[in-house]
Structure 1
């Protein structure tokens, strides 16, 4: 098939949606499909090139005010580029990853051309609103308006997908859109396979991977880390970038833990398995996770996970089976859970095996197969004359 993918998240601003989109595009191309991928340019300019068999279109973008590392596409200036790509690519199906500037432009252009649209939702208002100062003081009102905006765009999609059942429930509770299909983002299980031993390490290591933004609550992790007994000799590695890095580094100094905490910034995708391999415990304190690819990757490497009991994380982490859950915001409870694992290598090994087992249900190959199946049914519906049409429901 000929497939056009579009995402408002882009590789340089590392997050789960961008990571998933890149892996989906490469996997589809490897399977023999023709893939065009559209996302914002990191430097504002327009460019087109081939990457791993994918024809990549970096569209003109502007910097979000107050967020120098965040680029966004504006619909009026993006529309012509999007229409040109659709005209040349002549796709069988369009798959968007968001409802923002580029996503909504692509949905509307596809509808005009009669091309079926699959829309995946990775969005929660909490992931976006704190980046926009003008609405930060009115989070509830802004959140409702954000959901209404998503609903207007995704109502024109023929099929909607989400990565977890919790994400499906949230979408149903927040919008009047029809039920979404659940398709895990998936990961390459072989790539994240790590051999681990039962030997106790002299300095057990904790790991966090993710954006350094408000909803990830890395400050909570640092506070909990400061509560750990110094006799444990624990280390913490923080992988990721974001607007809060400097303030989080200042917090480590004020807590007196700067000698035990390393901020590694963004690491290359090829270096990630090594980061997981150095760790003994993975920590995810985020409260706005519709799945959490980083947590899935950690599980695939056989790491026990300590996670906030929030949003979709309990779908991945089962207390006592592959990790520990704690009440969000309770840094002392987080510290207790971390200490339990850090002092007990046997427990870590057992929970790590549980992580690896639970990760098996989220293989990238299965995800690709599911999406290709959905694409095929959408194409079949168009051929049968049932498209275009609004909010087409398809059986799984």
Structure 2
């Protein structure tokens, strides 16, 4: 690292174990190891996923529910950022960007990098419009994009916004365990001798986990393990009961990042029926862990789940229930194909290197803060 370490603040909407939170967790850990002072700030607590994380501030126990509570939250946010006195702020997710970045600017922070990690389909049009406006002002110093596909979503934005865009693909932590399926299933309380499908996701309707549950109606011996929590949980449990599948659908709840490898080690196939993604971190982690993937055929997944131009997942229209089930059945019935997919997916670790992602973020930390110092010195001389 060149020069003195910087104080870095990662701002996000909700504290829980999910993809964007995993990226900021990895970045904070690795940047701390390089001599920086990295901290987290969450708007509100969703789960206990970050309760024991060092250097973490959670402003509210729950999401502000009325205008007065929101105003108090905004004032508390500005005060908290001012008290931390970061050299640079990285905001994540659409609400983290449009609320966190202006608050950081009002708190006196001059270097703010917005991270676009939400698919366009998941963002309210008014929030997207607000982000478009803020991005043309000095509030955002830079804006990161995590895939070429997502970059295309901004091609019609004004030049003042687009010139701030920088492509930084997600890096990830290898979650593969040296543990057999039988041992992993025993630790999770799952049947050792049944074909086991599984997924890891925040449970919202956009993840389309109901499509994965529907797969079990095609084969009486298939089981499904679902690791995650979220607002769609009750609906998914209702669907499971209505289909008479309570003995074959296993809701594992939210799992700490240290336990994701255990879940993946238990699976025969990782299913990823999501409606929209900007990257698909959970599928990348599954592929690197050696689990064959059957995923929704989205342009971004064609980009991300490929190594050297070769697909390392079976992509299918998950709205075609029969085709989705057939793709899973093909993987289960063809060990050679499953092995080929798994071996190819091992290259994802090289393609999405954790160190490369951290290098890119550290470069932003050092370059943005250095440029600010030069601007201040120039203004003083003038």
* Aligned match of 2:26: 23
Tell me the secondary structure at the aligned position of residue 9 of structure 1: strand
**Map 1:1-396 → 2, pairs under 5 A:** 1-11=6-16, 14-42=17-45, 51-52=53-54, 55-60=55-60, 62-63=62-63, 76-100=71-95, 103-112=97-106, 113=108, 115-127=110-122, 143-155=124-136, 156-173=139-156, 177-179=161-163, 180-189=165-174, 191-194=175-178, 202-228=193-219, 230=220, 233-318=221-306, 321-385=311-375
Deviates more, 1:174-183 or 1:151-160: 174-183
Tell me the secondary structure at the aligned position of residue 63 of structure 2: strand
Count residues in correspondence.
354
Confirm or deny: 8 A CA contact 2:305 2:312 kept in the other structure: yes
Q: Aligned partners of 2:73, 2:142: CA distance in 1, in Å?
A: 24
Residue 172 of structure 1 deviates from its aligned partner by 2.9
Shift in alpha-carbon separation, 1:196–1:166, aligned structure 2, 3 A: farther
Residue 104 of structure 1 deviates from its aligned partner by 3.5
State the TM-score, normalizing by the size of structure 2. 0.82
Deviations 1:139-189 (A, max 9, x none): xxxx43232022123332011002111111113346762152121222112
Residue 263 of structure 1 deviates from its aligned partner by 1.3
Tell me the secondary structure at the aligned position of residue 211 of structure 1: coil
* Aligned match of 2:187: none
Tell me the secondary structure at the aligned position of residue 7 of structure 1: strand
Q: Aligned partners of 2:131, 2:15: CA distance in 1, in Å?
A: 19
Tell me the secondary structure at the aligned position of residue 83 of structure 1: helix
State the TM-score, normalizing by the size of structure 1. 0.80
- Mark the runs of 5 or more structure 1 residues left unpaired by the alignment: 66-70, 129-142, 389-396
Shift in alpha-carbon separation, 1:153–1:34, aligned structure 2, 3 A: same
Shift in alpha-carbon separation, 1:271–1:329, aligned structure 2, 3 A: same
Q: Aligned partners of 1:124, 1:213: CA distance in 2, in Å?
A: 13
- Mark the runs of 5 or more structure 2 residues left unpaired by the alignment: 1-5, 182-191
Deviations 1:312-368 (A, max 9, x none): 222222497322101241111111100000111221111111111123221322211
Q: Aligned partners of 1:313, 1:103: CA distance in 2, in Å?
A: 24
Residue 78 of structure 1 deviates from its aligned partner by 3.2
